[in-house]
Amino acid sequence: MMPFIYNGLPSRVIFGQGTLSRLADEVRELGCHRALVLATLEQAGQAREVLAQLGELGAGLFAEARMHTPVEVTDAAMRHLEELEADCTVAIGGGSTIGLGKAIALRTGLPQVAIPTTYAGSEMTPILGETRDGLKTTQRTLEVLPEVVIYDVELTLGLPVGMSGTSGINAIAHAVEALYAKDRNPVVSLMAEEGIAALSRSLPRIAQEPANQTARSDALYGAWLCGACLGSVGMSLHHKLCHTLGGSFDLPHAETHTIVLPHAVAYNAGAAPEAMSRIARALGSDDAAGGLHDLARAVGAPLALADIGLQASDIDRATQIATSNPYWNPREIEADGIHRLLSDAHAGRRPTSREVTDA
């Protein structure tokens, strides 16, 4: 056994069905009395139900969260929070809403309760990505880690099939990169493989039976494990590319992760053979990159960056941004290779790990 360091994250996790009923008690346990509920406009109705459930503990609602956590949205939320004299936030939704809660926590130190309704995994990480003037920057600090995470399987039953698939593969991306992270360790690697396996068996079933509670429970369990992986070790090429594409070209977050992941895995395959074996095993495939592409196809997810708004003329600029600042990756970051990766992802070609390994 090689030496390793493992840092556990200090979040309280409540997992099950009907667990939202514990929200008011959890807010009280934090010593808070005026909770600001956060959501996107699309989930404002669900957020109003949460506010009603909080009763006298609910200070108000801010339902303007947006993808990639633009700083101007955070500024507006901060003004609303100060007007209401709120002493904590309750974020219900996916990565956009939970990201807003983190941005507020960074600026105020107020505690957070996160109630995820997708499989993105942001709730389990001390990571915040914010967008300013078309550029997305990321920082890692325990100041943005939610104190309490409430996983309620019932809240995911209405998640549309398309969003279920892409947010689930977004979660898988966290576990995939954890398996070849510079600071990987055996504990996180176990969680990563289990998380990939739970999602890869549940997402196709959800695509066929959206109300299947067993599949929904497996997917939420897998998302928790994958999010914990993202929160525990560093990420590399895949996440850098997706932050570039999202922050600078305003591409949808989960769909971008879903499309790019197989290609990033193929790029790194020759430099991380053990990780490739574990990914393939978790997928029930003989090839990691191809298996991820096939999973995306099986859940009806988009397969090409061209289909979600990236122009072929954008590839040069995306390559330049993604290679401009050095970061760790198991394979050296080469501009020509990144350009080919993005070109393949733009066209939706099926990559394979074996071809890269044998090249």
Average pLDDT over residues 50-74: 96
> In whole angstroms, what is the distance from residue 343 CA to residue 331 CA?
19
> In whole angstroms, what is the distance from residue 236 CA to residue 108 CA?
29
Which of 125, 156, 187 lies at the terminal end of a domain, its last residue?
A: 156
Residues 314 and 174 in one domain: yes
Residues 175 and 251 in one domain: yes
> In whole angstroms, what is the distance from residue 118 CA to residue 167 CA?
6
Average pLDDT score over the chain: 94
* pLDDT tops 70 at residue 118: yes
Give the CATH number, domain containing residue 94.
3.40.50.1970
Is residue 3 assigned to a domain? no
Is residue 5 assigned to a domain? no
Residues 142 and 167 in one domain: no
Beta strands 112-116; 127-132: pairing state: unpaired
What total number of domains does the chain contain?
2
* pLDDT tops 90 at residue 8: no
Residues 211 and 114 in one domain: no
Is residue 137 assigned to a domain? yes
Is residue 343 assigned to a domain? yes
Is residue 74 assigned to a domain? yes
Query: Global pTM?
Result: 0.89
Give the CATH number, domain containing residue 267.
1.20.1090.10
Is residue 249 assigned to a domain? yes
> In whole angstroms, what is the distance from residue 34 CA to residue 39 CA?
16
Q: pLDDT grade, residue 169 (50/70/90)?
A: very high
222-254, pLDDT tens digit by residue?
Answer: 999 999 998 899 999 999 999 899 889 999 989
Residues 181 and 279 in one domain: yes
* pLDDT tops 50 at residue 45: yes
Domain carrying residue 49? 12-156
Q: Are 44 and 161 contacting, i.e. CB atoms less than 8 angstroms apart?
A: no
Residues 243 and 145 in one domain: no
pLDDT at 356: 46
Q: Are 206 and 217 contacting, i.e. CB atoms less than 8 angstroms apart?
A: no
Average pLDDT over residues 169-194: 96
Is residue 2 assigned to a domain? no
CA distances from 157 to 48, 120, 160 (A): 18, 15, 8
Residues 265 and 333 in one domain: yes
Which of 135, 156, 177 lies at the terminal end of a domain, its last residue?
A: 156
138-168, pLDDT tens digit by residue?
Answer: 898 999 999 999 999 999 999 999 999 999 9
Residues 205 and 308 in one domain: yes
Residues 29 and 145 in one domain: yes
pLDDT at 145: 96
Residues 351 and 233 in one domain: yes
Residues 173 and 238 in one domain: yes
**Tokens (6 digits) for 142:** 């325990």
283-294, pLDDT tens digit by residue?
Answer: 999 999 999 999
Is residue 7 assigned to a domain? no
> In whole angstroms, what is the distance from residue 330 CA to residue 267 CA?
10
258-279, pLDDT tens digit by residue?
Answer: 999 999 999 999 999 999 999 9
Which of 132, 156, 180 lies at the terminal end of a domain, its last residue?
A: 156
Residues 147 and 190 in one domain: no
3-state DSSP helix/strand/coil percent for the chain, to nearest 5?
Answer: 60, 10, 30
